[in-house]
Amino acid sequence: MSAYSTPMPSREFLWDVFNRVDRDRSGEISADELQQALSNGTWTPFNPETVRLMIGMFDKKNSGTVSFEEFGALWKYVTDWQNCFRSFDRDNSGNIDKNELKTALVSFGYRLSDGLIDTLMRKYDRAGRGTIYFDDFIQCCVVLHTLTASFRQFDTDLDGVITIHYEQFLGMVFNLKV
């Protein structure tokens, strides 16, 4: 996704955005506050799982919230994902269909079968219309990246095949931050 990176906005701009999102004036942004502030362009609330995942990625203190210092990185992350999403939403529909998802994943370096692409569509298509909204696209890509990184810890010869014991598998799954 690095090709879609945007420059970091000014501290003043981020402070203004942070204060608008921090509705309870706690000096921290909670998952609920972030969810209310984010838009997936569909007039539906941002997926709470995606919000939780993003808070977890930038919450260095494990408080369940992000401080102003952490917020800048989170804001840039969401903006970069918006640019990425728009680049693959070829028909400007505001969502990603199966072909657009496959194009995105191939560009990220994934070579997945059509069957697995269908599975991802079923998992992340909350509306049941054969498309994935912006927030679900982020979640899909982050989970796929996290699972791949976990798999690669065991795939030391990089042949795409691992042999692990049941407890190793459980440890791998339960240690994931998704």
Structure token digits, residue 142 = 């982050």
Please report, for residues 9, 17, 51, 66, 67, the alpha-carbon distance to residue 61 in angstroms, rounded to integers and kept in the order given.
24, 21, 17, 8, 9
Q: Chain-wide mean pLDDT for the chain?
A: 88
What is the average pLDDT across 150-164? 91
pLDDT 10s digits, 61-72: 888 899 998 998
Across 59-63, 73-77, 131-135, the highest mean pLDDT is recorded for 131-135
Cα angle 38-50-99, degrees, rounded to a multiple of 5: 95
pLDDT tier, 10 (very low <50, low <70, confident <90, very high otherwise):
confident
Residues 6+ away with beta carbon under 8 Å from 62? none
